[in-house]
Amino acid sequence: MNIKNYKEKLFKSDARKRLIENFLSLSVLQIANYILPLITLPYLVRVLGPEKFGLIAFSQAFIGYFMILTDYGFNLSATRDVSINRENKDKVSEIFSSVMIIKLALMIISLILMSVIIFSIEKFIHDWIIYYLTFGMVVGQVLFPVWFFQGMEKMKYITFLNILAKVIFTVAIFVFVKEASDYLYVPLLNSLGFIIAGILGLWIVFRDFEVSFKFVGLEELKRQLKEGWHIFLSTVAISLYTISNTFILGLFTNNAIVGYFAAAEKIVKAVQGLLGPVSQTIYPYISKLMNESVELGIKFIRKATFIIGGISFGLSLILFIFADSVINILLGPKYYDSVVVLKILAFLPFIIALSNILGIQTMLTLNYKKEFSSILIFASIINIISALIMVPILKHIGISLSVLLSEIFVTISMIHFLNKKGIKIIGAKLV
C-alpha cells in the first residue's frame, strides 16, 4: 500500500474521528485539571501557610518515587502493547493481567521500602502519618488502568474518572480544611479521590471491554518487564529533576522554602498541563502510524511540532511577563519569594513540549528507547550535581535554575541525536 492509500486510510477514516474524540476528552480533563487546582491552590496556600503547604509538597515528592516505581513505564510500553493488539481480546486480557500483577507486586514492595525509610530516619518519623496517608495515591494509581484506556484510545473514561476524583477532593477541601491544623485532611482526601477513581476504572475495564483476569506465565511477566525497562529508567531519570527537586530542597532547607518553590511549580505545571491532552492523544496514534508508515508518521510529528511549539511558547511568554501578578492573585503576599521561581520556570512549558515531541513521540515510537533513556540519565546527573551545589547557597532559586538547566539539556540533546540520524523535526518543512 502506497503513501496515498495510507493517507486515505488513516486520515479519512475512523482513525481521525477517534483522534479528535480523544483530544476533546482529554482537553476537558485538562481544563478541569487547570480550573480545579486554581480553585483549591489559593485557598490551601493561605489557610495552611508556607510551612504546612511545604510539608505536604515534600510528602508528595517522597511518595512520588513509589508512584514511579509502580508505574514502571507501563503508561507508555503497555499503552503501545494494547494499542497494537486491541482487536485481539485474549491478548489484551493477557496484557492487562500481567501488567496488573506486576504493579500490585511493586506496590507491596513500595510499602515495605517506605516503612523502612520512615522508621529509620528521624526527619520522617516525626510526620510519619502524613506519608502513610499520602501513600493512598500509590494505591489509587496502581488500580487506575490509565495505560489501558490510552491503548484502547478511549480517553473519555480517563476524563470522567479523573474529574470525578478531583471534584471529590476539591469539594472536600473546603468542607474539612478550615485551619492549618487540618493539614492531614489534604493527603487523606487526595488519596481517597485516587482510590475511588481506580476502583471505578477497573470496574469499567471488566464491564465494557470484556477483559478477563487470567494468571499468566512467567515468560509474559518477563516480557512486560523487559518492554517497560528502558522507559522505567527514563521516568526514574526524569524524577531526579522533577519530584527530586522538591525532595532535595526539603532535605537542605525548611518546609517554608519548599512551600515557596512548590507553589510556583504547581502554577507552571498547571500551564504545562494544558498541553497534556495533545501528548496523550497523539502517542498511541503515532505509535500505530509509525508501525505502518514511518514517513507518514514523521510528517505528522513535524506538523504537531509547529503547532504545539507555537502554543507552548505563547503560554510561557505570558507566564514570564505576568509572574508578579499571577503570584499575588493566586498565592498572596506571603509567597512573594515565589515570584523569582515562577520567572525562572516560566519557559518550561515550551521547553518540555518540544522534548516530549522529540523524545516520547519520536524517539520512542522509532524504538530509540536506549538512547532516550541515556539522555534523561545524563540530564538527571546534571540536575543532581547542580542542585547539590546551588541549593545550599541559593535555596529555592538554586533548585529552579537546576531544573531549567536540565530541561534545556534534554531538548538540545534530543535535537542533536535525531539530526545525526537524519531525522530533522525542528526547522523541517511541514510537507
- Nearest-angstrom CA–CA distance, 94 and 224: 11
The Cα 380–Cα 399 span in angstroms is 13
Comparing C-alpha atoms, which of 282, 249, 275, 265 is closest to residue 76?
282
Please tell me the distance from the alpha carbon of residue 418 to that of residue 309, in angstroms, as a whole number.
17
Each residue's pLDDT, cut to its tens digit, for the chain (431 residues) gives 454 554 455 445 566 677 677 667 666 766 776 677 778 888 999 999 999 999 999 999 999 989 989 988 787 788 888 888 888 888 889 999 999 999 999 999 999 999 999 999 888 998 999 999 999 999 999 998 888 888 887 777 777 888 888 888 889 999 999 999 999 999 999 999 889 989 998 998 888 888 888 888 888 888 888 887 877 877 777 666 677 888 899 989 888 999 999 999 989 988 887 777 777 777 777 887 887 788 888 888 888 888 889 999 999 999 999 999 999 998 988 999 999 999 999 999 999 999 999 998 889 888 888 898 889 889 988 988 999 999 999 999 999 999 999 999 999 999 999 999 888 887 655 54
Biggest distance spanned by C-alpha atoms of the chain: 66
Best CA proximity match to 142, nearest among 194, 86, 214? 194
Are 224 and 232 a contacting pair, CB within 8 Å? no
Contact 59, 134 (CB under 8 A): yes
Q: How far apart are CA 159 and CA 166, in angstroms?
A: 11
Distance of CA 247 to the CA centre of its chain: 17
Do you know the residue count of the chain?
431
Q: Where are the domains of the chain?
A: 3-420
**8 A C-beta contact, residue 349 and residue 319:** yes
- Please give the Cα distance from 403 to 243 (Å, whole number): 10
